[in-house]
């Protein structure tokens, strides 16, 4: 080896170096503070030979062939060893290295040493263990060292060499490697966009961005024994542009409607069972959808009725105002049977499909799906086992304690108490939003609401108003007074930019319990035993006053069929988002019956695009205890409450991270199915399936590769996994009971929507596992 030995007189060395090592030396000394082991110890300790002090040290027993080694904890590159000898030194010794502290390699032998400071320069070596083996002593004493130091004098502060600009996309896996000179031993990156992290050992930045943004200034760092080098990476994240069905659940209209084949069937997500049909076989007939705002459109898919044997002639037109329409697809000469898919590029709010002829029968379609280019600037990524809080799910309550809030907050986001203020304050670790209400036409309500909102921090997102104006014992005011009160509440809300959700309607009541008033539409005195004519009159008076309610609410206590009917009916009739601020099935004989109703009802409200918010009645009910969410013990949920808190959410921006086991209830879109308490051996819920079910899942897949996909299902039939309408694979189920079947599919990485469809006699799906 190329060795250079510098020997200084001991007395001179001691005079200069009998103090702690300087900061620069300590920073570069690889041995400092690591671990040391010796063959024997007479004085001091091995650790004191690497503590950076020239006033402490280690001494061996009084015999030759004694040693001390330093464990650098991991292989390190060095080219210099410095030994600070005490008065008892080695006149002859070896420097050795090892990677296991068992097998040693001689790196150099020093003879004729006279003590003091020995600087031993070596060709660069990489090793974890470095040993001084004493061969011959200078006196009858042993070997004594003040300090055993190891250096890499050839090392330089790292310089970042990787590109200093990079770009990612929301929902798409991102990878970037920090590169640097100087053999860094660690890396760092600060200021990374959400969803990304750095491996401090390898310097790899990876993950999936969840929020779009202009270039972030990310500080990159690379560190070795000499120091740390920094650089700034400009990292931008672009929105994710996705194609999605923008017509699903939107208000629709039609030229004519056949009884039983409603116009809303054509955009309910069901492509094989429910349909819209014209009233007879005359042509032309049209169906149109209001997308709510001008939207960038890319295509229209139509699942025609009896498409295997019929052809339809049709025209697709668009409009921004609902008055003037422009054709984008002309198939008025079409004679080809089958479903259709037509691509076009346009921006519009209204899309109209006019059927000009058919080879047989009436104008009829199972589903008309209009797809838009949705720019997603952010997504939420969750693990498949995460408990998600629903932004829709709320609670009506009279009294909640801190433990009650803590039990409810994991799944419930808001509450109200039929008043304009509350003394029930959620603790900091259980956030739930309070929504104030003006219950009726009381003199103090408006002042109380104004005072509450002026001091509330943060402000509530909405104001609720006017509880059951059509029902005796509740607000019980006529339509004109209801409209006037709405205007007064709105004036308060407008000061803070808060919308008013009003009125909150009882669906109907006996004549003796119903309000009687002059009806401006029927132009006669009416007893309002049902909600709809009352609402029509309220909206008539609002319109006359230049007011528009963005949404209203109704209450349902009559069972699942009633709830589903009025959500669909009111959404079709009034074309605005709905709230259900009280729901419950009043006549239940057990907690289990209440729980089963709640699961189906709440999950329907959660997935319905027509519903903006919903609230269970209530936290504790003395009149209907089977429906209580909480027991009499603070913070203890009933089985009804456990179901309400743990129900899934179905937000379109929520994606589940895979691989892993995906509960079937974590869907984003469900056609021909419902949720229930599971009958399988594991899990909380499963999805029951009826004829031709279709279930969509938003997933974020780590890596593009081949996956084994297992389905836990019951019933006899076929399960198909699809992406973008293309089947990826199918597998048969063979038993009426629960069973696990699997298939193998190739999937790309990134955010995507997968669809599971079924045929035959499938009855339920519990989970899907990607491995």
In a domain, 158, yes or no: no
User: Where a domain ends, among 646, 671, 700?
Assistant: 646
**C-alpha span between 5 and 117 (Å, rounded):** 10
User: Which tokens go with 590?
Assistant: 């057990």
258-284 per-position pLDDT tens digit: 999 999 899 988 888 899 999 999 999
Query: With 60 as the cut, is the pLDDT of residue 759 above it?
Result: yes
For residue 20, the domain's CATH number is 2.60.120.260
**C-alpha span between 414 and 460 (Å, rounded):** 10
> What integer pLDDT is reported at residue 471 of this predicted model?
97
The structure tokens 């082991």 sit at: 37
675-731 per-position pLDDT tens digit: 999 999 999 999 999 988 999 999 999 889 999 999 999 999 999 999 977 899 999
User: Where a domain ends, among 356, 376, 396?
Assistant: 376
Query: With 70 as the cut, is the pLDDT of residue 11 above it?
Result: no
Tell me if residue 666 falls in helix, strand or coil: coil
Residues 204-210, mean pLDDT to the nearest whole number: 93
Length of the chain as a residue count: 771
> What integer pLDDT is reported at residue 226 of this predicted model?
79
Q: Domain check: are 230 and 263 in the same one?
A: no
**C-alpha span between 164 and 162 (Å, rounded):** 6
Query: With 60 as the cut, is the pLDDT of residue 8 above it?
Result: no
Q: Domain check: are 554 and 405 in the same one?
A: yes
Cβ contacts of 356 within 8 Å, gap of 6 or more: 283, 284, 313, 314, 315, 332
The structure tokens 């029902």 sit at: 471
Angstrom CA distances, 228 to 22, 27, 149, 720, stand at: 19, 12, 21, 54
Degrees (nearest 5) of the Cα angle 425, 430, 436? 40
Query: With 50 as the cut, is the pLDDT of residue 17 above it?
Result: no
Q: Domain check: are 121 and 227 in the same one?
A: no
> What integer pLDDT is reported at residue 22 of this predicted model?
36
> What integer pLDDT is reported at residue 26 of this predicted model?
45
Q: Domain check: are 225 and 332 in the same one?
A: no
For 704, phi then psi, to 5°, come to -75, 115
Secondary structure element (H or E) that encloses residue 244, with its range: strand 240-245
**C-alpha span between 106 and 133 (Å, rounded):** 10
In a domain, 172, yes or no: yes
Q: Is 446 exposed, middle or buried (0-12, 13-18, 19+ CB in 10 A)?
A: middle
344-363 per-position pLDDT tens digit: 999 999 999 999 999 999 99
For residue 226, the domain's CATH number is 2.60.40.10
The number of beta carbons lying within 10 Å of the beta carbon of residue 145 is 27
> What integer pLDDT is reported at residue 493 of this predicted model?
96
User: Where a domain ends, among 646, 674, 704?
Assistant: 646
Q: Domain check: are 765 and 712 in the same one?
A: yes
623-649 per-position pLDDT tens digit: 889 999 999 999 999 999 999 999 999
User: Which tokens go with 697?
Assistant: 């899942």
> What integer pLDDT is reported at residue 7 of this predicted model?
32
Q: pLDDT tier at 653 (50, 70, 90 boundaries)?
A: confident
* Residue (of 411, 481, 415, 365) closest to 643 by Cα position: 411
Q: Domain check: are 231 and 247 in the same one?
A: no
Residue 145 sits in which domain range? Answer: 4-151
225-270 per-position pLDDT tens digit: 778 999 999 999 998 877 778 898 888 999 999 999 999 899 988 8
In a domain, 157, yes or no: no
**C-alpha span between 167 and 236 (Å, rounded):** 5
**C-alpha span between 613 and 610 (Å, rounded):** 9
For residue 534, the domain's CATH number is 3.20.20.80
Pairing between strand 117-137 and 4-7? Answer: antiparallel
In a domain, 156, yes or no: no
**C-alpha span between 583 and 559 (Å, rounded):** 9
Domains identified in the chain, total number: 5
* Residue (of 217, 237, 219) closest to 229 by Cα position: 219
Greatest C-alpha distance within the chain: 124
Cβ atoms of 91 and 136 closer than 8 Å:
yes
142-172 per-position pLDDT tens digit: 999 999 999 988 778 899 999 999 999 998 8
In a domain, 49, yes or no: yes
Secondary structure letter of residue 54 according to DSSP = T
User: Which tokens go with 295?
Assistant: 């939207």
531-544 and 560-574 are packed helices; what angle lies between their axes, rounded to 10 degrees? Answer: 30
Q: Domain check: are 524 and 566 in the same one?
A: yes
In a domain, 489, yes or no: yes
Q: Domain check: are 642 and 662 in the same one?
A: no
Q: Domain check: are 124 and 12 in the same one?
A: yes
Query: With 70 as the cut, is the pLDDT of residue 12 above it?
Result: no
Q: Domain check: are 338 and 424 in the same one?
A: no
591-607 and 639-646 are packed helices; what angle lies between their axes, rounded to 10 degrees? Answer: 10
The number of beta carbons lying within 10 Å of the beta carbon of residue 26 is 13
Query: With 70 as the cut, is the pLDDT of residue 465 above it?
Result: yes
Tell me if residue 646 falls in helix, strand or coil: helix
* Residue (of 245, 241, 256, 344) closest to 303 by Cα position: 245
> What integer pLDDT is reported at residue 5 of this predicted model?
36
**C-alpha span between 81 and 127 (Å, rounded):** 13
Degrees (nearest 5) of the Cα angle 446, 452, 454? 100
Query: With 90 as the cut, is the pLDDT of residue 45 above it?
Result: yes
Q: Domain check: are 9 and 46 in the same one?
A: yes
State the average pLDDT for the chain.
92
DSSP code per residue over 469-531: TTBTTSS---HHHHHHHHHHHHHHHHTTT--EEEEEEESB--GGGB-EEEETTTTEEEE--BH
In a domain, 542, yes or no: yes
Give the E-state strand segments of 255-339 in sequence order.
Answer: 276-277, 285-304, 312-319, 326-331
Q: Virtual CA dihedral for 683, 589, 630, 400, nearest 10 degrees? A: 140
Q: Domain check: are 56 and 90 in the same one?
A: yes
> What integer pLDDT is reported at residue 248 of this predicted model?
85
Query: With 70 as the cut, is the pLDDT of residue 386 above it?
Result: yes
In a domain, 26, yes or no: yes
Cβ atoms of 721 and 755 closer than 8 Å:
yes
**C-alpha span between 18 and 84 (Å, rounded):** 10
Query: What's the alpha-carbon Rg for the chain, to the nearest Å?
Result: 37
């Amino acid at each position: 080896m190329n060795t250079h030995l510098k020997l200084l007189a001991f007395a001179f060395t001691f005079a200069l170096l009998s103090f702690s090592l300087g900061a620069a030396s300590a920073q570069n000394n690889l041995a400092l503070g690591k671990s040391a082991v010796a063959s024997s110890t007479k004085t001091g300790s091995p650790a004191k030979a690497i503590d950076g002090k020239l006033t402490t040290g280690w001494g061996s027993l009084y015999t030759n062939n004694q040693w001390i080694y330093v464990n650098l904890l991991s292989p390190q590159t060095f080219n210099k060893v410095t030994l600070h000898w005490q008065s008892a030194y080695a006149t002859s010794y070896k420097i050795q290295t090892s990677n296991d502290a068992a097998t040693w390699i001689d790196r150099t032998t020093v003879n004729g040493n006279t003590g003091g400071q020995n600087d031993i320069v070596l060709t660069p070596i990489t090793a974890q263990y470095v040993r001084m083996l004493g061969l011959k002593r200078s006196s009858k004493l042993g070997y004594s060292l003040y300090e055993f130091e190891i250096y890499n004098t050839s090392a330089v502060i790292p310089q970042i060499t990787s590109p200093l600009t990079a770009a990612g996309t929301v929902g798409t896996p991102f990878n970037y490697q920090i590169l640097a000179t100087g053999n860094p031993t660690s890396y760092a990156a600060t200021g990374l966009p959400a969803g990304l992290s750095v491996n401090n050992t390898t310097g790899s930045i990876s993950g999936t961005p969840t929020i779009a943004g202009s270039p972030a200034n990310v500080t990159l760092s690379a560190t070795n024994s000499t120091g740390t080098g920094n650089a700034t990476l400009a990292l931008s994240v672009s929105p994710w542009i996705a194609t999605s069905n923008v017509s699903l659940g939107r208000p629709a209209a039609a030229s004519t409607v056949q009884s039983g084949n409603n116009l809303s069937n054509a955009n309910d997500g069901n492509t094989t069972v429910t349909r819209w049909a014209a009233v007879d076989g005359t042509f032309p007939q049209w169906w149109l959808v209001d997308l709510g705002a001008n939207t960038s459109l890319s295509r229209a898919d139509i699942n025609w009725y009896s498409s295997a044997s019929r052809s339809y002639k049709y025209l697709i037109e668009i409009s921004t105002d609902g008055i003037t329409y422009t054709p984008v697809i002309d198939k008025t000469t079409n004679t080809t049977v089958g479903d259709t898919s037509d691509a076009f590029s346009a921006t519009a709010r209204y899309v109209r499909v006019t059927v000009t002829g058919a080879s047989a029968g009436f104008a009829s379609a199972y589903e008309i799906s209009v797809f838009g280019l949705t720019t997603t600037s952010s997504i939420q990524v969750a693990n498949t086992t995460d408990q998600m809080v629903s932004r829709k799910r709320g609670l009506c309550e009279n009294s909640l304690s801190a433990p009650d809030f803590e039990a409810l907050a994991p799944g419930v986001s808001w509450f109200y108490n039929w008043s304009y203020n509350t003394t029930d304050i959620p603790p900091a670790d259980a956030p739930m939003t309070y929504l104030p209400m003006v219950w009726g036409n009381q003199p103090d309500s408006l002042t109380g609401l104004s005072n509450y909102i002026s001091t509330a921090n943060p402000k509530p997102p909405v104001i609720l108003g006017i509880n059951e104006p059509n029902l005796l014992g509740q607000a019980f005011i006529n339509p004109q007074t209801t409209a006037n009160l709405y205007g007064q509440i709105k004036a308060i809300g407008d000061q803070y930019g808060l919308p008013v959700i009003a009125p909150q309607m009882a669906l109907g009541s006996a004549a003796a319990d119903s309000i009687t008033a002059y009806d401006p539409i029927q132009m006669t005195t009416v007893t309002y035993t049902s909600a709809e004519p009352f609402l029509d009159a309220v909206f008539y008076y609002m319109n006359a006053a230049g007011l528009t309610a963005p949404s209203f609410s109704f209450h349902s206590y009559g069972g699942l069929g009633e709830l589903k009917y009025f959500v669909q009916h009111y959404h079709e009739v009034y074309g605005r988002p709905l709230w259900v601020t009280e729901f419950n099935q009043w006549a239940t004989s057990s907690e289990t019956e209440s729980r089963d109703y709640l699961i189906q009802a709440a999950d329907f409200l959660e997935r319905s695009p027509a519903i903006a918010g919903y609230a269970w009645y209530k936290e504790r009910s003395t009149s209907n205890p089977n429906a209580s969410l909480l027991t009499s013990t603070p913070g203890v949920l009933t089985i009804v409450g456990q179901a309400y808190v743990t129900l899934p959410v179905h937000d379109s921006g929520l994606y589940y991270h895979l691989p892993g086991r995906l509960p079937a209830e974590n869907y984003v879109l469900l056609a021909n199915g419902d949720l229930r308490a599971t009958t399988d051996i594991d899990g909380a819920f499963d999805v029951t399936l009826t004829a031709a079910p279709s279930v969509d899942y938003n997933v974020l897949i780590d890596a593009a590769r081949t996956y084994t996909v297992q389905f836990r299902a019951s019933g006899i039939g076929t399960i198909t996994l699809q992406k973008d309408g293309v089947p990826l694979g199918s597998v048969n189920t063979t038993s009426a009971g629960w069973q696990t079947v699997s298939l193998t599919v190739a999937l790309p990485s990134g955010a995507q929507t997968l669809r599971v469809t079924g045929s035959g006699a499938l009855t339920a799906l519990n989970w899907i596992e990607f491995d």
